[in-house]
Chain A
């Protein structure tokens, strides 16, 4: 059963703590992406990766870090430097440029 999984579904953390969000896909897609969505707003790109061991900053990369050691996995770390980390985080993947992106179920992060 192919798809994208994200874990956990809900995550609660105290301010000042780093937290890592998991994203795994078994679609054999080359490209993977991380977005955040705030209430009533569109999706904003955090990081993306076209191939293993390579990734690029998106529009709002400050306070975030990623790795792409395996084609299937693209974890996102939200660091304590991120000023407003509470949001809905979405991972996506696509087979290549110009093709649609498919989304995982998302992780809702709350930092207090």
Chain B
């Protein structure tokens, strides 16, 4: 199985601040990258997909991909208490499989 590494956290940020999450992956041929949000006791929910180098913005979320350095990051701007969750990074292997990181737990302090 390909390696996907994330800092486990917890990452604690004050309300209104930027939360920055990082993910590195081992397989150079990976082409598709995803961020999922998972609230405690619930299933993962897709929040971002990114396929090419650079930034992709969707509302308060920005995904950044650097294939040369093999990392993908997620920025959460204007963090809200409702953003408190575990964020999973997922990377496509060269078939139908996704490899998941163990997740970074984010806590937004009111």
Contact = CB atoms under 8 A, between A and B. Distances in A.
Nearest to A107: B43
A103 B96 contact: no
Residue with the greatest number of chain B CB neighbours at <10 A, chosen from A58, A94, A98: A98
A100 B49 contact: yes
Nearest to B97: A45
A58 B93 CA distance: 12
Interface in B4-33: 4, 31-32
Interface of B: 1, 4, 31-32, 34, 36, 42-46, 49, 51, 88, 90, 92, 95-98, 100-103
B46 A100 contact: yes
Contacts, number: 50
B-side interface mostly: loop
Contacts of A45: 97-98
A25 interface: no
A59 B53 CA distance: 29
Given A41-B102, A105-B43, A98 B32 contact: yes
A43 interface: yes
Contacts of B44: 43, 90, 103
A84 B90 CA distance: 25
Given A42-B88, A43-B88, A98-B32, A48 B1 contact: no
A100 B98 CA distance: 9
A80 interface: no
Given A43-B88, A45-B97, A97-B95, A104 B43 contact: yes
Contacts of B88: 42-43
A97 B96 CA distance: 5
Contacts of A90: 43-44
B43 A48 contact: no
Contact of A42 (B31, B32, B97, B102): B102
